[in-house]
Amino acid sequence: MSKFFALASVSALGAIALSSLHLSSSPAIAAPQLTTAATRPQQIKVFFPKKLAQPTRLDYVESVWRQPQTPSVAQFAIAQVIAGPTAQERQRGFTAPVTLRGASNCGKDFTLSITANVAKLKFCRQIVSAGIGDDARLTSALNATLKQFSTVRSVVLLDQKGNCLGDMSGENRCLRR
């Protein structure tokens, strides 16, 4: 009788293993990872405007992959947006969404805080903008880059003086969210 239970147990384990193999090949379920997070670094997306043959949307952005060099991945991602696309990415039509000028009022290019699923990004240098098209590209790139993180649902963008970026009303509407 014990041989029967042992054989049944082995058969059941084999069936579970086979069904696991079947499930792991499904596109909806990721295959088991053999490496740990420490040995396989996470990649993040950084979004940049991209020139299109038929430019119809001023806010069009696409992502490129970056390997974070710091545990603060959101800060790293924004620093990459500010740094702009690589030479190879520029050849593929990506453009820099932001140009900063002048001295910093906080000792760096920006500050970033994430509280209650709201990312608050304040630039510490003057943002150079040629108008609504530049503002749309910058806003779109920053929003897409920050919203890839599960801890961010909305983004507040502030200029060097703490005013809402691109809000010409003077009412700082982005702070009312």
Residues 72 and 23 in one domain: no
Residues 47 and 120 in one domain: yes
Residues 78 and 143 in one domain: yes
Under the banding of pLDDT at 50, 70 and 90, the label for residue 41 is low
Residues 81 and 16 in one domain: no
Residues 95 and 24 in one domain: no
* pLDDT (0 to 100) of residue 39: 43
**Three-state secondary structure readout of the chain:** CHHHHHHHHHHHHHHHHHHHHHHHCCCCCCCCCCCCCCCCCCCEEEEEEECCCCCCCCCCEEEEEECCCCCCHHHHHHHHHHHCCCHHHHHCCECCCCEEECCCCCCCCEEEEEECCEEEEEECCEEECCCHHHHHHHHHHHHHHHHCCCCCCEEEEECCCCCECCCCCCCCHHHHC
Is pLDDT above 80 for 29? Answer: no
Residues 1 and 65 in one domain: no
Residues 81 and 131 in one domain: yes
Q: Could you give the number of structural domains in the chain?
A: 2
Residues 129 and 76 in one domain: yes
Domain range for 28: 1-32
Residues 7 and 54 in one domain: no
pTM: predicted TM-score of the whole model, two decimal places = 0.75
Q: What is the pLDDT of residues 135-174, one digit of tens each?
A: 999 999 999 999 999 999 999 999 999 999 988 888 999 9
Residues 15 and 100 in one domain: no
Residues 76 and 158 in one domain: yes
